[in-house]
């Protein structure tokens, strides 16, 4: 048997399409417990690589014969060796090309819809990390929102569509992943925007997202003024696009709400979070389609792999929007905070421009699950 690689793009499609397959994860047990490929129809077996050095005979009976088997490790090498041992036993097997490192960095573009003036809106799904970025296109121009550090994906996509990136925006100062917004602006000669209340310690020039300022891309206006929405951070800003889409940043997700503690100020910011969600958002049209900056679990993906829902549906079904008592809301938020994202303080400092870690260090800083939401 010849061992065949399976790409992260193929795995992504299997997850979105809910295709059954089997993962043999050969990372250490704590790494597997902390973060793994998730999907409705995935079966798992976690056996650390070092437990398989003497052979795979003892686990062959635990491997299915009627579905794809994919061996997964951190960076690929160990999974290739284990897959080869399984293949030598006459079993069909694949390994995840690039390992969990590649899974963490993969971005899958999904078209959300057409804008009324002929423009388009795309969502970039970072399925292994839960990050969601956006590209809004109109009349040959594009704006990027909440870009990840894998900037070539956005630049290449813009080139493919023959559009010029004129603006890149971060809805807030991110703490769970390294932003690519400033790098994109430098590469394209565009403008980088950041909420000034999140930018008190940044070391670089930026354009301030302030009330009363509108960003235009081609023929499309992105409204800023009515949607200052603090709570996840003190500067968090939301956007309405084409009177149709609400880009909520990390304030509101499909099944949860944003956590207010990543700068160590949960008690101070939980009131802002409630104000943004229960008053500012409540005044908006329930027909707006919410596009968040993260998703929590793969169950939030739609059938096309996108992440979105109408605001009215979220007010009806999202528990975080349905706690009338303010004291109960405060207790729910501050009492259900997940562990801090890996290396979140170093990530914040990187996004402030205070430190400039090399690419491998940035990759290691981001390894692990998304933890931007209240549980």
Q: What's the rounded Cα separation, in Å, for the pair 11 and 37? A: 9
Q: What are the distances in angstroms from CA 19 to CA 41, 61, 238, 241?
A: 6, 22, 35, 34
Structure confidence at residue 219 (pLDDT): 86
Structure confidence at residue 227 (pLDDT): 73
Structure confidence at residue 343 (pLDDT): 86
Structure confidence at residue 148 (pLDDT): 97
> CATH 3.40.250.10 residue ranges in the chain?
4-102
Structure confidence at residue 313 (pLDDT): 98
**Residue 249, helix vs strand vs coil:** strand
The answer to whether the beta carbons of residues 112 and 245 sit under 8 Å apart is yes
Q: What is the CATH number of domain 4-102?
A: 3.40.250.10
Structure confidence at residue 316 (pLDDT): 97
> CATH 3.60.15.10 residue ranges in the chain?
107-366
The answer to whether the beta carbons of residues 314 and 340 sit under 8 Å apart is no
Instruction: Say what angle helices 344-352 and 359-366 make with each other, to 10 degrees.
Output: 130
Structure confidence at residue 260 (pLDDT): 82
Give the DSSP H/E element, type plus range, for residue 157.
helix 151-160
Structure confidence at residue 223 (pLDDT): 67
Global pTM reads 0.93
Q: What are the distances in angstroms from CA 136 to CA 29, 124, 146, 195?
A: 41, 11, 12, 19
Q: What's the rounded Cα separation, in Å, for the pair 226 and 212? A: 8
Structure confidence at residue 74 (pLDDT): 95
Beta bridge partners of 241: 222, 245
Structure confidence at residue 375 (pLDDT): 64
Structure confidence at residue 224 (pLDDT): 61
Which residue numbers are catalytic? 73
Fold of 107-366: Metallo-beta-lactamase; Chain A (3.60.15)
Profile the chain (375 residues) by mean pLDDT over runs of 10 residues.
Answer: 91 94 97 93 96 95 94 96 96 96 96 92 96 96 97 98 97 94 97 95 93 85 71 88 93 91 70 91 96 93 96 96 92 80 88 95 87 73
- 129: tokens are 């990390």
Q: What's the rounded Cα separation, in Å, for the pair 347 and 337? A: 19
Q: In what order do the strands lie in the sheet with 309-310?
A: 215-217, 220-223, 239-241, 245-249, 289-292, 309-310
């Amino acid at each position: 048997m010849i061992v065949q690689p399976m790409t992260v793009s193929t795995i992504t499609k299997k997850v979105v399409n809910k295709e059954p397959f089997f993962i043999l994860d050969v990372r250490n047990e704590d790494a597997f417990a902390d973060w793994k490929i998730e999907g409705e129809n995935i079966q798992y077996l976690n056996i650390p690589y070092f437990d398989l050095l003497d052979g795979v005979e003892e686990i062959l009976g635990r491997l299915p014969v009627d579905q794809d088997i994919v061996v997964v490790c951190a960076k690929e090498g160990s999974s290739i060796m284990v897959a080869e041992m399984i293949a030598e036993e006459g079993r069909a097997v694949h390994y995840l090309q690039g390992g969990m490192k590649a899974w963490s960095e993969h971005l899958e573009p999904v078209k959300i819809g057409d804008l009324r003036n002929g423009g388009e809106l795309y969502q970039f799904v970072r399925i292994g990390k839960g990050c969601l970025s956006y590209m809004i296109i109109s009349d040959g121009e594009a704006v990027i929102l909440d870009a990840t550090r894998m900037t070539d994906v956005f630049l290449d996509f813009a080139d493919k569509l023959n559009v010029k990136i004129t603006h890149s925006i971060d809805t807030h100062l991110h703490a769970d992943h390294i932003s690519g917004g400033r790098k994109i602006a430098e590469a394209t000669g565009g403008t980088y925007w950041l909420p000034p209340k999140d930018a008190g310690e940044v070391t670089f020039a930026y354009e301030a997202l302030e009330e009363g300022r509108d960003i235009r891309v081609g023929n499309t206006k992105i409204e800023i003024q009515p949607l200052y929405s603090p709570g996840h951070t003190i500067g968090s800003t939301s956007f309405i696009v084409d009177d149709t889409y609400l880009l909520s940043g990390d304030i509101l997700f499909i099944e949860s709400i944003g956590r207010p503690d990543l700068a160590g100020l949960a008690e101070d910011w939980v009131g802002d979070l409630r104000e943004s969600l229960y008053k500012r958002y409540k005044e908006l049209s329930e027909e707006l389609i919410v596009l968040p900056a993260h998703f929590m679990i793969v169950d939030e993906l739609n059938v096309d792999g996108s992440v979105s829902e109408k605001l009215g549906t979220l007010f009806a079904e999202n528990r975080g929007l349905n706690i009338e008592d303010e004291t109960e809301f405060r207790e729910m938020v501050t009492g259900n905070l997940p562990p801090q994202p890996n290396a979140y303080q170093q990530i914040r400092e990187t996004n402030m421009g205070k430190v400039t870690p090399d690419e491998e260090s940035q990759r290691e800083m981001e390894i692990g699950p998304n933890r931007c939401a209240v549980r």
